[in-house]
Every structure is written in structure tokens, then in C-alpha cells.
Amino acid sequence: MAKKDGNADKTAFDPDKFMSKTELKAALAVAEGGAIPFAIAMTKDRQGLIWLARHGKPKAMRDALIDEAEKAGAELDDASVRHGRASVGAGSNLVTFKVIKEAPGALWAPIQKRLRTVGYGLLDIVTDTNVDNEADATDTAAAGAAPQSAASGAPAPEAPTPAAPAPAAPAQPPAADPAAALAGLRESYKKLLTAIPAVLAITPALKDNLVSIATAAKAALDRSDIDVARDLIATLDGEIHAAPTRADTTAPNATAIADKARMAWDACLSIAAREAGKLRAEITAAYSGHGFGAEVDAFFTSRIDPAIQRLEDSELVATLAAASRSADPQERRRLLADGVRIVETLQSMIDHDPVIARLDDNPFTSVAIARTAKATLGTLRKTLQSAVG
């Protein structure tokens, strides 16, 4: 995506020039075993930068990020730089960044977008002023020489041992055994169905949304469409977990509603990114050998990628994160009301966006981008309204 600066065209900075996906994924695999030091920031053109290492002081990571960004030619938004320690939930795709100073809301979307490129769809950024005193995940004395960064020749985060593979995104069944994958999905579907009555007992207004998703998921299972069934079941799971529980219905627990809503939208964006990638692969395969590779790339760059980006660029994640952190009930209520307005704007955009509205009906493969986003936003609107009153 290009943007003009004066009379010259300027292309957005490529984060791979700063830290490659291979290096980033390897470092995050180590973070599954315990906290490791990191620094994050965004560029002036809103690209997320992440710098991780197996050991060391978080403040040193901040200095390294600034140095390496300069070497890579990135123009940093200096106010966005944060450092601390990173961890990954065992067997999950949730990355938690503990930062020593509260992160600006604008930083969330670029960092999450970067994490999604290596299979980590969920992000949490929490403030912990004591984070410098936490232990490293690995023993500094046992660490070997650091590999060289392809972008700059400077030491890059060390790769994990073969015993620590990068965690796969959840709900990814083994492709080699579709029968087993379907059986697992059907079992998950049955468990989710049993949870719906408890949700509706507290929030009856969610009935249409949940029944709609469940019906679509069953249809996908009946026709053995594993990919669509997986995404719809993940959506249903997210909606159920985002819905208010009996403990959430009291005013002090509006924080829990904000947390659940943010996680549900995070999951929705992960599904959208994965489905768009699947569609791109199918179109590329359909035209392989016909000399249309450049045209396919140009089509996605100009049409599909910006459509997904429009979903990711909303301020919903940052607004909900601010609401969950706020200790002031009035401020939290205001932020949740802002969240409702953002959700309504996203709903209108999906209904009228000429690309997003048609992605699910493409002739190449079954995807559930618009359907998932509509269902998620429908639930979020009602759950957030229940907290606002």
C-alpha cells in the first residue's frame, strides 16, 4: 500500500526487514516456556515492530529495537516504544506482553497484525512496573551465540531447540485425517450446543445470533466442509465465551465483559485473516501455470488485503482494552459506549463494503469472513449494551 510524501511515492515499511517471520516465530516458541525480554513499537506508517530475545534485560531490548529500526530504515513513532517481558500460553496462540509503562491504544492493532503473520491471533498488553525483575525463560549461562539478523547483520533472537516447536493456532486438525478432524469438530459442536441454554438464560437477545451460527456450523459438518465448519465452530465458541455470565451482570464486572468482547473480536480477526489466506492460496492454485501470478498478487494487494485491513484498523480492540483497564466506573461506561458505536460502524461497513460482502460467495472456495464478522459483531453489540445499560 503506497502513500504519497510530497512529490515522491513512499512504500510502507516491511517489518520483515526488521525481524523476519522465521526469527519472530522461533522466539515466540521460546516464550511458551516462560517470559522472555522484548520491545515493541510501531512505525510512522503504522507497521508493528517486535524485537525478542531468549535472555537479557528488557531495557536492553528497547535500545536494540531503536538501533535495529534505524539500521532497517524504519521511521519509528518514538512515543509508541515499549519494553518488558513476553509470554505465550501453553498450547495457545495468545501472546501476552507485560510492559513497564502503559501502551498507547494505537499500538494494539499494528502489533496484533504482525503477530497474525506468524500464527498468533490473540494479543494482550498489560502494564507491570515490576516486569524488569522477572526471570528469563532460559538460563543466560547456557545460551549460545546469537544468530545474525538477515536484515542488519546484528544479533537476532536465538532459535529454540528442536524440542520447543512453535505452537499451532488452535482448532487446526491434522490435514492427513479428515475423518478424525470431522469427528473432533462434531464433538466440539455438541459441547457448545449444551452451553447455549445457560447463555440465553442470562441474555435472551443473543438467541438469533447463536442459533444462526450453530445452524450454519451444522450444515458445514453435514457436507463435511472442514474449513468452514472449523471457523464457524470457533466463532460459536467465541460468542459463547464473550456472552455475559451471571457474575458479569453486576456493574463492577463490566471489566469482564470488556475482556471477553475484546478476545471475541481478536478471534474473529484471526479467522478473517486465515480465511483470506486460504482464498488467496485457492486462487493462486487455480491460475498456476497460466502466468497470472502477478495479477493474483495485484488483485489481493489492491482489493482483498485492504478489505481485511479495514476490519483490523478499527479502534475496537484498543477501546475495549482501555475499558478493561479503567478503574473508574464512569470512564469504563463511556469507553464501552464508544465500543458499541464502533461495533455499529463496523456492522454498517460490512453490510455496504463491496469486497467484504462478497468474499463468502466467491467461486473458488468456501470461506466465512463476512458471516463470522456479522455474527461476532451482533453478539458484541448486545453484550456491550448490557454493560452500558
Q: Which of 148-157, 172-181, 265-274, 363-372 has the lowest mean pLDDT?
A: 148-157
The per-residue pLDDT for 122 is 74
pLDDT-derived band at 118 (thresholds 50, 70, 90) equals confident
Question: d(Cα 319, Cα 114) in Å, to the nearest integer?
Answer: 19
The per-residue pLDDT for 331 is 87
The per-residue pLDDT for 86 is 92
The per-residue pLDDT for 40 is 94
Overall average pLDDT of the 365-374 stretch: 83
The per-residue pLDDT for 215 is 84
**Helix%, strand%, coil% for the chain, nearest 5:** 60, 10, 30
The C-alpha cell of 117 is what? 503473520
Residue 245 has pLDDT above 70, yes or no: no
Residue 71 has pLDDT above 50, yes or no: yes
Q: Which of 246-250, 345-349, 370-374 has the lowest mean pLDDT?
A: 246-250
Overall average pLDDT of the 333-352 stretch: 91
Q: Are the CB atoms for 207 and 162 separated by under 8 Å? A: no
The per-residue pLDDT for 160 is 39
DSSP codes joined into one string, 56-85: S-HHHHHHHHHHHHHHHT--B-GGG-EEEE
Residue 47 has pLDDT above 50, yes or no: yes
Overall average pLDDT of the 126-147 stretch: 56
Residue 161 has pLDDT above 50, yes or no: no
The per-residue pLDDT for 150 is 36
Q: Are the CB atoms for 170 and 266 separated by under 8 Å? A: no
Kind of pairing between the strands at 48-52 and 36-42:
antiparallel
pLDDT-derived band at 115 (thresholds 50, 70, 90) equals confident
The per-residue pLDDT for 290 is 65
Average pLDDT, the chain: 76
For residue 280, what is the enclosing H or E element? helix 254-286
